[in-house]
Structure 1
Amino acid sequence: MKRLVLTAAGLAASLLATGAASAQSWTPVPVAADERSGKTRQIRCSVGERPETTCAFTPLFGDGSFQLDGPDIAVRMIIIDGEGSLFEVFGPDRRVPVGGIYTRNPRDRACWISTAGGPSPVCAR
């Protein structure tokens, strides 16, 4: 497995490259059935300054929370009372908080922006 370490100036997270499998060059991190609130689907996503790419989007908990998996991307956005917290995902039960509080971007509702810390924006289209 390889890791990409991003700078502390707004890109303080390290994003996990999740290996190779099937026709895609990455494997989504498994999500427990009791955490899912819908089916995983392919979308376009971006995290921080990384270019937009194809990702697996898994809705979580029925409250707007989600997991994104893609090339060099494995993150979870957990939403509580309209604010998000970002976690780097290393495995089904291994997640590390990235830091910062995320709010919806009023100009682009597909994106969450960090008020301090973590990579920003986190976009799921």
Structure 2
Amino acid sequence: MANVQLAKNLRTLRKKYNYTQKQLSSILNITRQAYSHYEQALREPDLSTLIRFSDFYKITLDELVAGVIDADQIQESFPVYQYHLCETEDQKHSICLTDPEIDLIMKYRYSSENDRQIVRGFLKDK
């Protein structure tokens, strides 16, 4: 029997961050039909796909699989970045970031304005 809560959570998260099923399937390198089946609880993702969902949405596996995710409770200050390896011209709409780049952006976002000025000044010298 499929995990109905997981299906609800996937749908809630996708809609909260304004992704289409096609966009998410492309980001996660699965078919749109497979993703659709996850949201309809017709099929369950394997462990590696669950981990990718968890990493993508920056939530724990437990929250994803068993938690009740309320769209109004998702913090807007911690956005989900669309990232994956850009290999073709048709992926220009994507923001392609590595994990260290995402880490740097998040540290910059939560730093003080003074620290941000120092970083900007340092980068201008390069």
- The TM-score, its normalising length taken from structure 2, stands at 0.27
Q: Which structure dedicates a bigger proportion of its chain to helix?
A: 2
Q: Which structure dedicates a bigger proportion of its chain to strand?
A: 1
- The TM-score, its normalising length taken from structure 1, stands at 0.28
Query: Which of these two proteins has the greater Rg computed from alpha carbons?
Result: 2
